Structure 1
């Protein structure tokens, strides 16, 4: 409204003159003289504004600088790491996660493992009654009995042959029968071992599902009295002492994400971070998502990195020595250009700059600023606000 008031004040006498003079020619002369006066008035205004402030310079005394919280620093050389921020999610370490299946069909007799329970390698998770296991154990018991008989027969024939009572042929036949019985027992043992069953554990048909390694019961799909198949997904066990931070990588960022590259993983929901290295980068780009996947193995001693947690992954690439760098907070955008407010006698001046690499805290200045120049590192927004006020006054 203030900007509009002087214009209104200038127009009203002109309108009065228009109403007072009916002669068109005379009115034209009057209008022309009005334009002339306005032009002279405008020149006078411009002339008055010129000495008050230079273009882009903001006059601030030390007290104003201190009040605005402006901190002056000196631009100089610095070693900068290029970094890129990528979205990610905590996942189970698939190298330490297993779907536990019964391996035999049967009826669930008992389930001792609870969801979320920590289990040790070899711990019994559930017990199944299985006729298949019963048959295998019976076969092994029969093989062991035949082996015992064959061994007795062999010992007897050996003694008779040594005493020259019986023929060598009988001794050799007993020896062959013993070898066959030993093979039969070994085969029966291997069949039981293949399905994870022991020779005897309380009953011929009793089959125990055991934990393959130390971990946590993440999923449980067994119920008491339930009939299960040999390939049923009974439990999901995961060792949560380490997890994967899975990174979603777009094609433009593939150049930064390489195996062995250092990264910092930060949780989005709370204040937590961890360092690691990229251990895997997928070579395939998803048909639907058009992104690739990579992952970082993170130690998880206190279980703070829970699967499903969203994270930001900062990938730090090459290090480089830059001749001039400034605080990232110092950069401001004025008329769509990057500027730094440089310290000059009596205040600051807006200096247009060209930026380069950044690590998030500091930015390389490729041109527009020299090493040793003093600049407003913090509180530069306050100077920008003063610059805005000055330009608004100048336009009046």
Structure 2
């Protein structure tokens, strides 16, 4: 039995040829993929820009492209983790990228602890102040240079330097020949007066009884009047010297008591026991320091601003103290050498703070002008390059707002640019915020 040849043996040969072709093509494709892998990995931005249809048209190539895309995702892991924080391209951590360098974080409790108080910017009156140097001096209206008014020798000295004395208090006792003579004259005049009064009484009675002539009566009357005048004259002499009628009682006719003319402090003393003094010798200086003068020199150009009755503030240069008084005197003449006029302010000094000889600064309001927008002078702070700033509240704390300032006095400063009317600002405690801002800047620098 014979078999007819068929086409079955030829099929395996064709299959083997197709498989071989596929393997060759696969090897070539693998080689091309391996060569294009590094380039595709370095062009991640281009790969992300293509759509899925354009970038991945062949489903069999997804393995290699996915690997490259995965590598790109690792490089930008921060984009996935900080989607809400939106970190900048500089690559800073989220804590630094979200931190506002100009913000001073502060809650209500810290504000109260730091003494921060807010106010609103608005119109105000700015006063132009005139500052003049001055010096505290004795109030000459309440200062006495005590002189004995009679020559004598000091027997005792009761008052000491710096002592507070009352009016009429004994300062010293002198032995004076002049006082002795005046008292003797007073005593003699008193005796003559007593005799003249007795004679007048007798002559008047005899004249009324028609025993003596009227002429004798009239003569006795004249002698009586002269005796009265002599006694009065002797008394006035002693009173003018401050001796008094009974000053010599218990101490002799020559005893002269020197007493304080008013309440005050013994600021000078030039008398010791046994020292001889003349009637014009200045032995004590007593001043009532409850009132003093602040004297100053005013230039001719500033005289229109310094008027009698004008309110003035006096500030000590050696310590923190101030007082308010009125201009009591402005000189009518200009000094030929200094080209200034003298002026003074009367200051109450109940506690004795203002001591004569103390240097002071006197502030007088020269003019007043209205500012459209102003803040408290305590709110103005100077930063780097002397830039003026005002701290304003913002969500979460405060921020330094640069401003342009104009006229200013001790209480108010005019704002030209940087704030709006009614805008809140830190009126008190701005120095604390300035310190916090400086500390934060230093930490950021390091």
TM-score under structure 1 normalisation?
0.71
Compare 363-372 and 219-228 and name the one that shifted more.
Answer: 363-372
Partner of 1:272: 321
Aligned equivalents of 2:162 and 2:226: distance in 1?
A: 48
Aligned equivalents of 2:149 and 2:372: distance in 1?
A: 66
Corresponding residue pairs, total:
327
- Secondary structure at the aligned position of 1:178 is classed as helix
Partner of 2:189: 143
Pairing 1:126–2:172 present: yes
Aligned-pair distance for 1:350? 5.7
Pairing 1:66–2:99 present: no
Compare 182-191 and 267-276 and name the one that shifted more.
Answer: 267-276
Question: Which residues of 2 match residues 159-308 of structure 1 at below 5 A?
Answer: 159-200=205-246, 201=248, 202-308=251-357
| Deviation string, structure 1 residues 256-301 (Cα, Å, up to 9, x no partner) | 2221122222222222222222222223333343333322222222
Say which of 124, 127, 141 aligns to 1:78.
124
Aligned equivalents of 1:157 and 1:277: distance in 2?
A: 68
Q: Is the 8 A contact 1:261 1:317 kept in 2?
A: no
Q: Is the 8 A contact 2:119 2:424 kept in 1?
A: yes
Partner of 2:95: none
Q: Which of 1 and 2 has higher RCO (CA within 8 Å, sep 6+)?
A: 1
Any stretches of 5+ residues in structure 1 without a counterpart? Answer: 1-59, 386-396
Question: Which residues of 2 match residues 320-339 of structure 1 at below 5 A?
Answer: 320-328=369-377, 330=380
| Deviation string, structure 1 residues 1-40 (Cα, Å, up to 9, x no partner) | xxxxxxxxxxxxxxxxxxxxxxxxxxxxxxxxxxxxxxxx
Partner of 2:147: 101
Q: 1:82 to 1:180 in 2, by over 3 A?
A: same
Q: Is the 8 A contact 2:312 2:363 kept in 1?
A: yes
Aligned equivalents of 1:286 and 1:174: distance in 2?
A: 65
Q: Is the 8 A contact 2:389 2:400 kept in 1?
A: no
Compare 128-137 and 261-270 and name the one that shifted more.
Answer: 261-270
Aligned equivalents of 1:104 and 1:197: distance in 2?
A: 10
Q: Is the 8 A contact 2:168 2:261 kept in 1?
A: yes
Q: Is the 8 A contact 1:354 1:368 kept in 2?
A: no
Aligned equivalents of 2:119 and 2:204: distance in 1?
A: 101
Partner of 1:44: none
TM-score under structure 2 normalisation?
0.63
| Deviation string, structure 1 residues 208-263 (Cα, Å, up to 9, x no partner) | 11111111111010111111110000100001111122233333432322211222
Aligned-pair distance for 1:183? 1.0
Q: Is the 8 A contact 1:89 1:311 kept in 2?
A: yes
Aligned equivalents of 1:109 and 1:341: distance in 2?
A: 72
Aligned-pair distance for 1:63? 5.3
Q: Is the 8 A contact 1:355 1:367 kept in 2?
A: no
Aligned equivalents of 1:170 and 1:143: distance in 2?
A: 22
Q: Is the 8 A contact 2:325 2:345 kept in 1?
A: yes
Question: Which residues of 2 match residues 372-391 of structure 1 at below 5 A?
Answer: 378=430
Q: 1:250 to 1:166 in 2, by over 3 A?
A: same
Which structure is larger by alpha-carbon Rg, 1 or 2? 2
Partner of 2:406: 355
RMSD: 3.7
Partner of 1:371: 421
Q: 1:125 to 1:350 in 2, by over 3 A?
A: closer
Aligned-pair distance for 1:326? 3.6
Q: 1:179 to 1:371 in 2, by over 3 A?
A: same
Q: Is the 8 A contact 2:294 2:346 kept in 1?
A: yes
